Amino acid sequence: MRYPCFFLRKKFVSYLEGGVAPGEAKRLEKHLGACRECAELLARLRSGHEAGRQFGRLAPDAGHRPPEFEEIWAAICPTLDRPARPAMAGGRILQALSTPLAVRLLIVLVLTQAILLVVSLRKIPSPVVAGAVRTGDAPLLQGYAPVRIAEFSSNSEFRVVTEGFVEDVYFDEHEKSLHIKLVEVPQKHEPFVICEIRDLGSLTIPQPGDRVRVYGTARYDAQPGRGWHEVNPVLTLAVLKR
């Protein structure tokens, strides 16, 4: 399955319900005109959707009715001679952690860590990195293993930094995240890696054609119908060349 197909297909049911924005609908229809596989799938989903709607309108099986309250109460009542069960041990821990003092301590801890991280980032010089990932002008974060896009299939590192050319930038409305397809060589669709940005914050959104460096967690997405390497979530991103 091609990259745009995967994301557009998630909108098919919304499209059938008339629930996508006009611009998105046009984009989808344009794609359907060019992609036979997607057009065939949409036709199947249209039938499935109609069947689902009919199923939803069916009256419930009239054989039995839900139990009366008294039946359920009769089962519960004997166990209520003691107060309703208190929170489990884990729940009590969570309750303790949610006290105002614990929350304040947690906030202080997080802020301290964030400040330390920012300070350490500013101090890191641009080290020379062995391997194919170039340093460019942007600093490299410590603790991130440089991995070429083509090397993701044999990568065992968790925190990685990679570089590549942006082939596509796509905002997935369902996931509420920005997806960037990075390729190693411009105009060559493979090898590629999908970089998923969940929180844009102050990150610069790259444009197709940009060369970027991406830091984040390496994953392999093995859901049915797809299989590709991801940097997900992206921690930070630097545009090296525009």
Partner 1 sequence: MASDVCPEQTVALRALPGQRERSIVLAARRGDADAFRELYSAYRDPIWTLVVSLVGDSSQAQDVMQNVFFKAFRGLGGFRFQSGLFTWIYRIARNECLNHLRRREVPYVPLEDVLGCGDEIDRARVSDLEEARRAALRDAVKHLPLKMREVVVLKYVEDLSYTEMSRILGCPPGTVASRLNRALAELETRLRPFKGLLL
By CB under 8 A, is residue 128 in contact with partner 1? no
By CB under 8 A, is residue 86 in contact with partner 1? yes
For partner 1, the closer of residues 76 and 101 by Cβ is: 76
By CB under 8 A, is residue 186 in contact with partner 1? no
Q: How far apart are CA 166 and CA 182, in angstroms?
A: 5
Contact string (CB under 8 A) for partner 1, positions 46-85, x = contact: -xxxxxxxxxx-x-xxxxxxxx-x-xxx-xxx-xx--xxx
The CB-of-84 to partner 1 minimum distance in angstroms stands at: 4
The CB-of-99 to partner 1 minimum distance in angstroms stands at: 12
For partner 1, the closer of residues 9 and 213 by Cβ is: 9
What is the three-state SS of 179-225?
A: EEEEECCCCCCCCEEEEEECCCCCCCCCCCCCEEEEEEEEEEECCCC
The CB-of-177 to partner 1 minimum distance in angstroms stands at: 9
By CB under 8 A, is residue 174 in contact with partner 1? yes
For partner 1, the closer of residues 18 and 125 by Cβ is: 18
By CB under 8 A, is residue 22 in contact with partner 1? no
By CB under 8 A, is residue 120 in contact with partner 1? no
The CB-of-107 to partner 1 minimum distance in angstroms stands at: 16
Amino acid of residue 19: G
Q: Given the rule CB under 8 A, which residues bind partner 1?
A: 9-14, 41, 44-45, 47-56, 58, 60-67, 69, 71-73, 75-77, 79-80, 83-88, 91, 94-95, 172, 174-176, 223-225
